[in-house]
């Protein structure tokens, strides 16, 4: 889950598996008859067979023994390339696409196998160079480079809005984030989905071409039957309509095949963009875009969703392609018979008359709805409270006139409600079928999201990734482990040279304490409201607490007026520290970490334990006003 190495290698490994995975959707691999109740077990056995056949690819990519894995991977890739090429060359023809059908279907698999062969060769060369000490081995760390840069970007001072500098493509289509990487699961799922869409498009085109050819044969047979019999006026009248329908349907199906394929491909990439957007919102603590019942999903359900996601996303993509294709085909037929054919047959005036009647009816309905809103805005709302207000308040005026207005429009709204009910049903059906392959959004109404298993799987999957791959959490754990290892190393070194009495000097202890107290000063200066949460060593009377509130509010107001928004995150160790910074310890702070001139550091010390005094707040304000910008100072 956390491993982000060899992402494209795993993606192409799944690309090599794609042809066998798509074969599981059919029953061509079943060479014997089985009862219906046993088909589920046969599908399971077939899936296990495919998994075992391609498992060596993934084992060779993930094994820590690089030389051994690379050699076996090269041999296994060569074996599969030879077998696939031999099958393609010896049996290239097919019943649908002709003499090159096998090559058209198998070239994505062959390309994936060739990529894996090159990858294993690169792994072998790199392992040999490391063995010969010509190259250093990459050390695996808990935190990835992009995660560390993401955390640094969060801690950096906010600059000019990036949207003002972004191009049109970044604002409207996709904004590339170099500090975010998609996990192997998303890459592999997208690769198989794209290859599956390619194969499904070819199969769809081939089967539709075969079906329309059979329709042409039926049309010719009906024509011969009409010519051979005398009492066949009905067949004679139907033949031109059948010919017209066959021609229109063939062209419409071909056009919608292209549009449905482009729609499904765009959905595949859009799911990746939504995955990044949803994860970033969860990292920021935002859950408002999710239904309330999904804010705290079950742990077991979330982990199980990871295992289901890839398979369900691929199946949803392929089924969504077929459903969207059929819906687009219906709309294409309606458009051709309603607009194109009347223009071709010279019935433009009739077509415009019918279209004008429909548009006029819709326009009148919409106009009356707008008229109701305008009348309410002008006559039945009270005036603005302030001239600077953009809208009138939600306060009713002229109540008696409004009751009469409501009464007379009641009967019209009943009739209009009947048509709007049908329109609502058609709109929901159309949107639901259009978005059936979008597993990242539910097609169920609010309150019934749990009845959408695909959306529930999506929510569980992103929550599992959020809890395991949050960059801030990973960076925090990395710092804890690094500090622990550093302390253990210092302890080991001190024990090794204990005979020389190498103990820690008082200067280093004072320097550490000074840095810690400077971080306390920095944190309180950037987050004045944290003063209220500190432990008080002085009196806890209500009067003292009120003084503390007033002082914190004063410092926060001064900070906001100077355009220095307080940071929202503070180190836990820094916040809870309640030490003081003395004049002697201030000299231990490095010069680069001092926010102002040396004369300012010679002023009386800040006693930051308990409730800060007015003098301390004034000193903080002077640091912000005359010293260096606090964000220019990076605490240790």
State the pLDDT at residue 519.
84
Output 454 or 599, whichever has higher pLDDT: 454
Indicate the SS3 state at residue 396.
Answer: strand
| Contact yes or no for 379/398 (Cβ under 8 A) | yes
Question: Per-residue DSSP letters for 20-73?
Answer: HHHHTTSSTT--S---GGGHHHHHHHHHHHHHHHHHHHHHHHH-S-HHHHHHHH
- The residue ranges of every structural domain in the chain are 1-140, 184-347+394-470, 508-632
Using pLDDT thresholds of 50, 70 and 90, give the confidence band for residue 339: confident
Find all residues with CB under 8 Å of 524, minimum gap 6, and list them: 530, 531, 608, 612, 620
Q: Which two tokens stand for residue 21?
A: 């995975």
When the pLDDT of each residue in the chain is averaged and rounded to a whole number, the result is 77
Give 567's pLDDT tier (boundaries 50, 70, 90): very low
What pLDDT is stored for residue 320 in this prediction? 92
The yes-or-no verdict on residue 591 having pLDDT over 70 is no
**pLDDT, position 592:** 38
3-class state of residue 342 by DSSP: helix
Q: State pLDDT tens for residues 387-429.
A: 888 888 888 888 889 899 889 888 888 888 888 888 888 888 8
What is the band of 324 on the pLDDT scale with cuts at 50, 70, 90? Answer: very high
Q: Is the pTM of this model over 0.85?
A: no
* Confidence bin at 33 (pLDDT 50/70/90): confident
Mean pLDDT of 510-523: 78
**Per-residue pLDDT at 622:** 52
Per-residue model confidence as pLDDT tens digits over 264-313: 999 999 999 999 999 999 998 888 889 888 888 888 988 999 989 988 99
Q: What is the mean predicted confidence (pLDDT) over 352-372?
A: 87
What DSSP letter does each residue of 532-566 carry, written as one string? Answer: GGSPP-S---HHHHHHHHHHHHHHHHHHHHTT-PP
Burial 322-346 (b: 16+ CB within 10 A, else e): ebbbebbbeebbeebeeeeebeeee
Q: Which of 87-91, 129-133, 185-189, 601-605 has the lowest mean pLDDT?
A: 601-605
The count of other CB atoms within 10 Å of the CB of residue 277 is 12
Question: Over 80: is that where the pLDDT of 376 sits?
Answer: yes
pLDDT band at 473 (very low <50, low <70, confident <90, very high): confident
d(CA 70, CA 307): 28
């Amino acid at each position: 889950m956390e491993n982000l190495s060899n992402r494209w290698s795993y993606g192409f490994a799944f690309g090599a598996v794609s042809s066998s995975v798509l074969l599981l959707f059919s029953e061509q691999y079943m060479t014997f008859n089985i009862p219906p109740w046993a088909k589920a077990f046969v599908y399971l056995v077939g899936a296990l067979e495919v998994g075992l056949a391609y498992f060596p690819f993934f084992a060779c990519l993930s094994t820590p023994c690089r030389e051994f894995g690379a050699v076996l991977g090269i041999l296994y890739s060569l074996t599969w390339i030879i077998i696939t090429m031999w099958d393609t060359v010896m049996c290239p023809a097919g019943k649908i696409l002709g003499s090159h059908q096998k090559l058209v279907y198998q070239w994505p698999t062959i390309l994936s196998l060739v990529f894996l062969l090159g990858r294993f060769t690169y792994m072998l060369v790199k392992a040999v160079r490391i063995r010969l000490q010509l190259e250093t081995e990459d050390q695996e760390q808990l935190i990835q480079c992009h995660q560390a840069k993401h955390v640094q970007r969060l801690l950096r001072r906010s600059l000019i809005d990036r949207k003002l500098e972004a191009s049109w493509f970044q604002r409207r289509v996709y904004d590339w984030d170099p500090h975010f990487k998609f996990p192997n699961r998303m890459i592999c799922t997208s690769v198989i989905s794209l290859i599956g869409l390619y194969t499904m498009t070819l199969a769809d085109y081939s089967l539709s071409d075969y079906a329309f050819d059979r329709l042409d044969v039926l049309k010719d047979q009906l024509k011969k039957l009409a010519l051979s019999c005398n009492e066949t006026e009905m067949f004679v009248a139907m033949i031109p309509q059948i010919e017209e329908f066959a021609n229109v349907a063939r062209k419409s199906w071909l056009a919608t095949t292209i549009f449905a394929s482009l729609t499904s491909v765009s959905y595949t990439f859009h799911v990746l963009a939504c995955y990044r957007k949803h994860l970033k919102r969860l990292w920021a603590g935002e859950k408002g875009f999710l239904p309330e019942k999904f804010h705290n999903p079950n742990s077991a359900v979330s982990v199980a969703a990871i295992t289901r996601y890839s398979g369900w996303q691929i199946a949803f993509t392929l089924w969504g392609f077929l459903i969207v294709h059929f819906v687009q085909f219906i709309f294409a037929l309606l458009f051709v018979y309603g607009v194109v054919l009347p223009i071709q047959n010279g019935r433009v005036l009739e077509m415009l008359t019918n279209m004008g009647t429909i548009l006029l009816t819709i326009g009148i309905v919409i106009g009356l709805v707008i008229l109701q809103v305008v009348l309410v805005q002008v006559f039945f709302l009270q005036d603005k409270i302030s001239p600077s207000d953009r809208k009138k308040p939600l306060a009713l005026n002229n109540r008696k006139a409004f009751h009469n207005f409501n009464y007379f429009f009641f009967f019209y709204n009943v009739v209009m409600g009947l048509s709007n009910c049908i329109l609502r049903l058609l709109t929901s059906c159309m949107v639901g079928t259009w978005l059936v392959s979008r597993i990242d959004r539910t097609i169920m109404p609010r309150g019934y999201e749990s009845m959408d298993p695909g959306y529930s799987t999506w929510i569980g999957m992103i929550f599992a990734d959020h809890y395991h791959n949050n960059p801030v959490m990973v960076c925090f754990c990395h710092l804890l482990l690094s500090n622990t290892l550093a302390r253990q190393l210092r302890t080991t070194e001190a024990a090794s040279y204990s005979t020389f009495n190498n103990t820690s000097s008082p200067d280093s202890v004072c320097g550490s304490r000074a840095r810690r107290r400077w971080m306390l000063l920095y944190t309180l200066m950037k987050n004045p409201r944290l003063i209220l949460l500190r432990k008080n060593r002085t009196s806890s009377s209500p009067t003292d607490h009120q003084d503390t509130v007033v002082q914190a509010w004063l410092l926060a107001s001064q900070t906001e007026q100077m355009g220095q928004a307080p940071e929202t995150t503070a180190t836990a160790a820094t916040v809870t520290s309640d030490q003081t910074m003395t004049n002697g310890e201030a000299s231990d702070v490095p010069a680069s970490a001092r926010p102002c001139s040396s004369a300012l550091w010679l002023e009386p010390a800040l006693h930051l334990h308990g409730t800060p005094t007015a003098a301390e707040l004034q000193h903080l304000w002077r640091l912000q006003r005359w010293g260096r910008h606090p964000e220019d100072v990076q605490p240790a």
